[in-house]
Amino acid sequence: MEALEEAEFCFPQLNTSCRKTMRPHSETTIIYTVLSSITLLTVVLNLLVIISISHFRQLHTTTNLLLLSLAVADFLVGLLQMPGEILLFRGCLILGDLLCAVHPFLSFIIVSVSVGNMILISVDRYMAICDPMFYSTKVTLKRVQLCICLCWIFSVVHSTWILWDFLKQPTKYNTCNGECMVVLSFAEGVVDLVVTFLGPIFVITLLYLRVFVVAVSQARAMRSHIAATTLQHSETVKAKRSEIKAARTLGVVVAVFLLCSCPYYCFTVAAENNQVGTSSAGLEIWLLYFNSCLNPVIYVSFYPWFRKAIKHIATLQILQPGSRDTSLL
């Protein structure tokens, strides 16, 4: 009986220990297996995206550079955040105060980076579809690299400001040993909600509505002139179709991100006193993180170049001389 009671506590030797979240052994095994599989899949798939875009010169485009930044953020989710959530699955923080400070901080940074990348992707598609004449001159690799760097820097600054009081004393609001409670003030919660959710949704929606309207009009124009096309005009039509297809694919990426993130932010808003414990919003957090696993799956489904790149990586053809110049498009 005493051993059973000890098993229910995170730290049986402490009178102030938190209780573990108790579940049947079979259910716990299934959950651990599923979460570990998602984690492994997230790391492997996003690593394939990173290797593909970094290795093959043909993929060094402005749009793919944004996908690379998003893949790095998703890779970090699988490498750092998901294992941390698995460790916190039983409701016990067993690695000390350092993990309690670092885990939420990294989570805020990565989510902010992902949101920033979604905005940049939306702007990129807006420029490509709505202003194609000046796209190549306005959207250059150096400008995109600068925007990506600013996105990461802003995310670090924003997360540091939001969690400043928490980072100074991570255990301030804990009620027992083994707990990790993140508490934001009302002002901090409102700012974070607007900056990382409501504001980006508004911007992304406006941009993609404009992209959708222009893409539909361009598609109609292409269909009406498809019977009488010169070779030059045919190439222009193919280029426009490629841009529209890219906009549709990246629109799916953005839509999936919004669907995966909405439950988490709705939970945050509904949480009493804006308090979010690392063990209380497990389902919403995992749905938010699961988006990092879905992004590469979308690339596999919509991008032939990614499937070809995976084949080259899996068969170790990328180790051959000159593989960087392989044609994938």
- Encode pLDDT of 220-236 as tens digits: 666 665 555 544 455 55
Rounded to an integer, what distance in angstroms lies between the CA atom of residue 57 and that of residue 60? 5
- Give φ, ψ of 77 to 5 degrees: -60, -45
Predicted confidence at residue 272, as pLDDT, reads 46
What's the Cα-to-Cα distance from 266 to each of 81, 182, 285, rounded to whole Å?
21, 17, 11
CB 64 within 8 A of CB 17: no
Please give the average per-residue pLDDT across 153-175, as a whole number: 88
pLDDT > 70? residue 103: yes
Token pair for 142:
């150096």
Token pair for 273:
């006193």
**Residue 181: DSSP 8-state:** E
- pLDDT band at residue 37, thresholds of 50, 70 and 90? very high
DSSP string, 184-250: --HHHHHHHHIIIIIHHHHHHHHHHHHHHHHHHHHHHHHHHTTTS--HHHHHHHHHHHHHHHHHHHH
Domains in the chain, CATH or no CATH each: 30-325 (1.20.1070.10)
Beta strands 181-183 and 275-277 are: antiparallel
139 in helix, strand or coil? coil
Q: How far apart are the first and last CA of the chain?
A: 66
pLDDT digits (tens, 9 = 90+) for 180-221: 788 878 888 888 888 888 898 889 888 888 888 877 776 666
CB 178 within 8 A of CB 93: yes
